[in-house]
């Protein structure tokens, strides 16, 4: 038996070693780093079982998930998600209820008792905000239509944890004390709701009134350390308030993050806590893997596999159907459904409550952790390659899969072509495309927009702008947009796979067309040039060029020298 302090150091060392090794291998094999963290955690957790302080590991994991959820709260902007939340609030709630009922029935069918099944169903009905946000952020797709819908959906799920955390303990109390009757049960539930409501109200009111002033005072000191410590103290205070009233400390941290996100100091705070977020995200995913006992997993393997397959399929079908019913394009629905096929980090918080109430046993907890790990293992690469999976799926099953929910304005094969020629086709009307379109509009140059964001299409039609509702990567859509008669096509979509499809179809329809394509990654330039792209625009490089153009004259550099230096930069960048 090792001394406690040595065991603690060893545990931390193994956590970081697993993170370095797993993360590095994941990057080498071009997989999401989260996958490497969890897999390495499983391997080291089982190989070094005897020298790990498991009690300390649980504490580390709890601290990790608490601070991780706080940083997720800070990242959310309700102002940015407001429009999306209006359309997906009700569908997201319906999804939670449908999947909860489905997983409850499945769990009972697998021989698990009612109360443990209820906790498991609640856990399995939620999806991982941390995983989805990290993958979308790495791919530069957080502000795309599928990214915004998925993020808004996850916000609703995270907030739904509050009523779930209120209802489950009340149901357990009523179940264990049947003599309470209906009246007693209603009083107990009402009491829980009042306590939770007062707690959240207290934190929100204090947050709205006190937190901005406190953070402003901390920022006025001029010390980054003071601002960071003040922020962490606020998180712990909110967590303590929630914990003492019977709610989750992690939930308190998440609410604190949402409040701080609305303050004027939120950007400075996020810049300070970003390293902490990354650190605790790593710790959370590695410790999640370390808690998976392979011997226990083997004994429950059939049950675990059934849960994993059912969660991925049921969640995808339910989310896809609901997003389509709201009116989004089938590609958006597919990608959002794919994004929500894993189990949430909040699930471990709910599972912890179940363990504390004596409802969940160690075996149940093992199943929960293994299923969480399994869904992450399967869904993470699927989400990372979402566009490729979508096009493979539509190509393989598009003909035999019935379109139960059709689009009124979708372009179908054989549609008459759009009455336009000698124009510019803009694929994607987001942050880049809308400014290009506005410039063309002012210059009087004819252009046509292709986008699958139905809200964008509606607004453009109201303005009288030529627009086609459909996926720009669909050959029939590009054919309808008269690409064969267009002068140029602008690809303002960041996804690589979609870009390649658009380029291929555009060149098939019009060999002489000028192709202008954006890219986030320097390494993509050679690939895009080989595909026949005429002009490649990297936003980050263009921003740097603009800064140089404005900065150097301030230091007495002549316009000719500025032009020469910019030309040299373009040559070095591969754009000369």
More confident residue, 200 or 154: 154
- pLDDT for the residue numbered 334: 93
- Report whether pLDDT(2) > 50: no
pLDDT score at 352: 77
pLDDT band at 79 (very low <50, low <70, confident <90, very high): low
Q: Report yes or no: 254 and 73 within 8 Å, Cβ to Cβ.
A: yes
Burial class (CB in 10 A: 0-12, 13-18, 19+), 273: buried
Burial of 484 (0-12, 13-18, 19+ CB in 10 A): middle
pLDDT tens-digit map of 418-467:
888 899 999 999 888 899 999 999 999 999 999 988 888 889 999 999 99
pLDDT digits (tens, 9 = 90+) for 369-388: 889 888 988 888 888 888 88
pLDDT digits (tens, 9 = 90+) for 293-333: 888 888 899 999 999 999 999 999 999 999 988 888 888 99
Long-range pairs, 33-37, Cβ under 8 A, ≥24: 34/131, 34/134, 34/135, 34/285, 34/376, 34/380, 35/376, 35/377, 35/380, 35/381, 37/282, 37/285, 37/286, 37/289
Give per-residue pLDDT as tens, 186-229: 776 677 667 667 766 766 676 667 777 888 888 788 777 888 88
Distance separating alpha carbons of residues 286 and 24, to the nearest angstrom:
14
Instruction: Provide DSSP, 189-219.
Output: HHHHHHHHHHHHHHHHHHHHHTHHHHHHHHH
Q: What gap in Å lies between CA 66 and CA 73, rounded to an integer?
A: 11
Residues 6+ away with beta carbon under 8 Å from 391: 473, 497, 501
Please report the domains of the chain, with CATH numbers, ordered by start residue.
67-396 (1.20.1530.20), 424-537 (3.40.50.720)
CB burial class (10 A; 0-12, 13-18, 19+) of residue 230?
Answer: buried
Structure confidence at residue 91 (pLDDT)? 93
What pLDDT shows up at residue 107? 94
What pTM was computed for the model? 0.78
Average pLDDT, the chain: 82
């Amino acid at each position: 038996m090792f001394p406690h302090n040595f065991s603690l150091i060893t545990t931390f060392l193994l956590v970081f070693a697993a993170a370095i090794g797993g993360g590095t291998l994941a990057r080498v094999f071009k997989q999401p780093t989260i996958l490497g963290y969890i897999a390495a955690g499983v391997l080291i957790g089982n190989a070094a079982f005897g020298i790990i302080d498991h009690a300390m590991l649980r504490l580390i994991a709890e601290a990790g998930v608490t601070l991780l959820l706080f940083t997720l709260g800070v990242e959310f902007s309700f102002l940015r998600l407001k429009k999306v939340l209006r359309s997906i609030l009700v569908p997201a709630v319906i999804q939670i209820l449908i999947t909860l009922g489905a997983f409850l029935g499945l769990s009972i069918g697998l021989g698990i008792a009612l109360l443990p099944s209820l906790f498991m169903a609640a856990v399995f009905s939620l999806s991982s905000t941390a995983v989805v946000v990290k993958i979308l952020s790495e791919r530069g797709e957080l502000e795309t239509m599928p990214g915004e819908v998925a993020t808004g959906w996850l916000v609703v799920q995270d907030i739904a944890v509050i009523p779930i955390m209120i209802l489950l303990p009340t149901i357990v109390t009523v179940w264990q004390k049947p003599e309470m009757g209906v009246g007693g049960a209603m009083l107990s539930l009402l009491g829980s709701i009042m306590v939770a409501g007062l707690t959240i109200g207290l934190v929100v009111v204090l947050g709205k009134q006190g937190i901005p002033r406190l953070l402003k005072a901390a920022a006025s000191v001029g010390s980054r350390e003071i601002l960071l410590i003040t922020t962490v103290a606020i998180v712990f205070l909110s967590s303590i308030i929630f914990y003492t009233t019977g709610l989750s400390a992690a939930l308190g941290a998440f609410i604190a993050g949402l409040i701080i996100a609305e303050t004027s100091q939120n950007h400075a705070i996020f810049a300070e806590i970003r390293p902490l977020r990354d650190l605790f995200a790593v710790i959370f995913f590695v410790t999640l893997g370390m808690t998976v006992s392979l011997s226990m997993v083997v004994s429950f393997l059939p049950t675990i596999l059934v849960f994993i397959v059912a969660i991925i399929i049921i969640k995808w079908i339910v989310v896809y159907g609901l997003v389509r019913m709201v009116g989004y394009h089938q590609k958006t629905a597919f990608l959002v459904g794919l994004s929500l096929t894993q189990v949430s980090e909040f699930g471990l918080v709910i599972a912890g409550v179940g363990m504390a109430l004596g409802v969940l046993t160690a075996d149940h907890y093992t199943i929960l952790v293994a299923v969480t790990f399994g869904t992450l293992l399967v869904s993470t690469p699927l989400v990372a390659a979402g566009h490729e999976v979508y096009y493979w799926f539509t190509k393989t099953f598009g003909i035999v899969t019935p379109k139960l929910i059709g689009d009124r304005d979708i372009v179908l094969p054989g549609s008459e072509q759009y009455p336009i020629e000698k124009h510019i086709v803009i694929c994607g009307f987001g942050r880049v495309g809308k400014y290009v379109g506005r410039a063309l509009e002012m210059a009087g140059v004819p252009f046509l927009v292709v986008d699958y964001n139905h809200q964008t299409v509606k607004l453009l039609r109201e303005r009288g702008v030529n627009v086609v509702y459909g996926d720009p990567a669909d050959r029939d859509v590009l054919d309808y947009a008269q690409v064969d008669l267009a002068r140029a096509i602008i690809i303002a979509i960041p996804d690589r796979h979609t870009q390649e499809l658009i380029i291929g179809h555009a060149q098939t329809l019009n060999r002489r067309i000028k192709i202008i394509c954006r890219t986030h990654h320097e390494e993509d330039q050679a690939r895009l040039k080989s595909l026949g792209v005429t002009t490649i625009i990297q936003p980050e490089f263009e921003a740097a060029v603009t800064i140089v153009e404005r900065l150097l004259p301030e230091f007495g550099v002549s316009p000719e020298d500025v032009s020469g230096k910019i030309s040299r930069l373009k040559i070095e960048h591969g754009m000369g």
